[in-house]
Structure 1
Amino acid sequence: ILEMRKEKSRDAARSRRGKENYEFYELAKMLPLPPAITSQLDKASIIRLTISFLRLKDFSSNGDPAWIKESLSSISSANSNSSSNLFDQHQGTHILQSLDGFAFSLGSDGRFLYISETVSIYLGLSQVEMTGSSVFDYVHTADHAELAQQLGLTLATNQTHQSASSSATSSSQQLPPSPASGTGMTSLMSLESNSAYQGLDRSFCIRMKSTLTKRGCHFKSSGYRVVMVLCRLRPQSQAYTAGKSGVGQPSSGPQGQNQPVPLLGMIAMAIALPPPTVHEVRLEPDMFVTRLAFDLRIIHCEPRIAELLEFVAEDLTGRSLYTLCHVEDVRLLRKSHTDLMHKGQVMTPYYRILNRHGGFTWIQSCATVVCNSKNGDEQSIVCVNYVLSRTEMKNLVVDQCQLESA
């Protein structure tokens, strides 16, 4: 009798596992991924990806503004050409392949809702493994505080950060530290009125894990690659916020002015900067290269700068980049200088270089700390500069040095 009971118990467990595996198999087939990938997923990955895609749907429909995708029938009726219909069906793939980087979106808790498969080209990481994981698991620990501040998150390991805002955050916004991640969050994303970063648009450089980075080279962070993140925070729609709080109307009046604006997450594009091991860069006609000391003093400048700006190379040698920068852009240049010293590489925002006889020109620079292959102590900064405009306000004298040149 005892053996019969054990056999029945084993049969029941086997039947239960079979039904469970079948349901997971059916759920995996519903994921918007190729069958070759879904057939290899374990149960935990199926649940993680399913939750991410459900949250992504909420992210797209309940944000401000809402993203409404046109139905395939309306597209096909508007475009009768079969080749045009075929392009529209694969338009998203074409756009991602044309980008010089990869796209991703984060939820309000800092987890990847979506990341394009092109991340494998620039970082060597898997789209399936990253989806549903915390972004902090793939960012250098020294950049966690900056990333959290940019996104309006409060880290469990940084209790002093946004202490005033965390007390004003409602209990529904509180999060326990995630056991799966080394860095937990104590609050969801929100836009604080007293935050150091205002507005919804963000642009910053962080170091992300990369399996394509050579180890053993003279890098600030071996095994990481610097990426420039261009992103926009996505606020919740007023109707969605009112529905969650149970209030009939959104709190946009005087009582809600100082309250943090709840966010659904962010949508971003990450541009991977050229690896420091790449010493030969193809220069377009609107680019020139300079070599700088660590105080941004120009050591060497290419002669081709005479074709782009009003200077010749000899005029700039020995001068500091700070003396050439427009006074309103010095703060941006200083921030990029600090990031360069800590991260080893940076892409600056757009800034203005003063011309010799008046006016200014917009440029952007990709700066990299490089080392002598024979002597690691000999370090300098190689700066690839992109000229973005012609001379603006030629007759305007912005600095005293332009008077001396005149």
Structure 2
Amino acid sequence: MSGTTKRRSSEKRKEKSRDAARNRRSQEAEIFSQRCNALPVPSNVQAQLDKSSVMRIAISHLKLAKIIEKANDEDEKTDHLWMKALEGFVIILSSDVDIIFVSESVAKYLGISQIDLIGQSLLEFLHPCDHDEIVDLLCHKTTNKKKSLFLRMKCTLTTKGRSVNLKSASYKVIRLSGEFKEFEMEETSDENKENNSQQYYIAVWRA
């Protein structure tokens, strides 16, 4: 095979590789767009989300949908918590200390948007001295279903009503009042139900 033929063959392989990469990026962009459009957030917010944010919010939304489904199936009554949050916010925490859901009103009191909180670890927004307490509480199943907590959460609102960068945020003491709910998140055999159940803390903060 001559040198010219080899170069042509090499160029064809490179072109095929570039075409395959373009097609892959196009497919990824289409999937990303579909997932983004499916999120229960306003279109103006969707336009600001990157891929990692879309995945983070999508995963939390799926978990939240499962929690609501299980709560309805098991006739778990939490309406009173939502009513109490009319002048505050609702938050749902997993046993991994992740924020599964927080109501949009959280921005009014902490200055941090709902989108920036959902799917994140609560520890990123807590005072370091409160980490051990919340981890110990959420990571171990408890028989005490009702629990109130005092936590120091980051707040980007100043006393003058201005908003600062998260890195410059101060800490605001909040009192969460809520209940632990335990749900079997996947279908499983009777002997594995205990290991498959997950605990969530559904709480409210009132202004």
Query: TM-score, normalization: structure 2?
Result: 0.77
CA positional deviation for 1:41? 1.2
Matched, 1:65 2:8: no
Matched, 1:12 2:38: no
Which letter maps to 1:116?
A: S
Which letter maps to 1:138?
A: F
Give the distance between the partners of 2:192 and 2:13, measured in 1 at CA: 61
CA positional deviation for 1:133? 0.7
Deviations, residues 34-79 of structure 1 (Å, cap 9, x unaligned): 11111221111111111111111222223483469xxxxxxxxxxx
The number of equivalent residue pairs is 186
Contact 1:102 1:118 in 2 (8 A): yes
Extract unaligned runs of 5+ from structure 2.
1-7, 160-168
Give the structure 2 partner of residue 212 of structure 1: 157
CA gap 1:231/1:47 in 2 versus in 1, 3 angstroms: same
Larger RCO of the pair (alpha carbons < 8 Å, separation 6+): 2
Give the one of 193, 197, 202 matched to 2:147.
202
Give the structure 1 partner of residue 163 of structure 2: none
Which letter maps to 1:143?
A: D
CA positional deviation for 1:12? 1.7
- Higher helix share goes to which structure? 2
Which letter maps to 2:114?
A: Q
Which letter maps to 1:65?
A: E
Deviations, residues 130-168 of structure 1 (Å, cap 9, x unaligned): 1111111111111112223433x2xxxxxxxxxxxxxxx
Give the structure 2 partner of residue 145 of structure 1: 132
Give the distance between the partners of 1:268 and 1:53, measured in 2 at CA: 17
Give the structure 2 partner of residue 22 of structure 1: 30
Matched, 1:129 2:64: no
CA positional deviation for 1:106? 1.3
Give the structure 2 partner of residue 264 of structure 1: 199
CA gap 1:190/1:209 in 2 versus in 1, 3 angstroms: same
CA gap 1:249/1:107 in 2 versus in 1, 3 angstroms: closer
Deviations, residues 176-195 of structure 1 (Å, cap 9, x unaligned): xxxxxxxxxxxxx412xxxx
CA gap 1:100/1:9 in 2 versus in 1, 3 angstroms: same
CA positional deviation for 1:261? 11
Contact 1:110 1:265 in 2 (8 A): no
Give the structure 1 partner of residue 141 of structure 2: 190
Matched, 1:37 2:45: yes
Give the structure 2 partner of residue 106 of structure 1: 93
> In the TM superposition, what are the counterparts of 1:5-404 in structure 2 within 5 Å?
5-63=13-71, 65-66=74-75, 99-151=86-138, 153=139, 189-191=140-142, 199-213=144-158, 223-236=170-183, 243-244=187-188, 246-247=189-190, 262-272=197-207
Which letter maps to 1:58?
A: K
Give the distance between the partners of 2:37 and 2:196, measured in 1 at CA: 37
* Helix, strand or coil at the partner of 1:109: coil
Give the distance between the partners of 1:40 and 1:143, measured in 2 at CA: 32
Deviations, residues 220-245 of structure 1 (Å, cap 9, x unaligned): xx7111111011110225xx68x44x
CA gap 1:9/1:267 in 2 versus in 1, 3 angstroms: same
Deviations, residues 105-152 of structure 1 (Å, cap 9, x unaligned): 11221111111111111111121121111111111111112223433x
Give the distance between the partners of 1:248 and 1:261, measured in 2 at CA: 10
Deviations, residues 275-324 of structure 1 (Å, cap 9, x unaligned): xxxxxxxxxxxxxxxxxxxxxxxxxxxxxxxxxxxxxxxxxxxxxxxxxx
CA gap 1:48/1:249 in 2 versus in 1, 3 angstroms: closer
Contact 1:59 1:264 in 2 (8 A): no
Which letter maps to 1:231?
A: G
* Helix, strand or coil at the partner of 1:270: strand
Give the distance between the partners of 2:196 and 2:58, measured in 1 at CA: 28
Extract unaligned runs of 5+ from structure 1.
69-93, 154-188, 192-197, 215-221, 252-259, 273-406
Query: TM-score, normalization: structure 1?
Result: 0.41
**Percent of residue pairs identical:** 34
* Helix, strand or coil at the partner of 2:178: strand
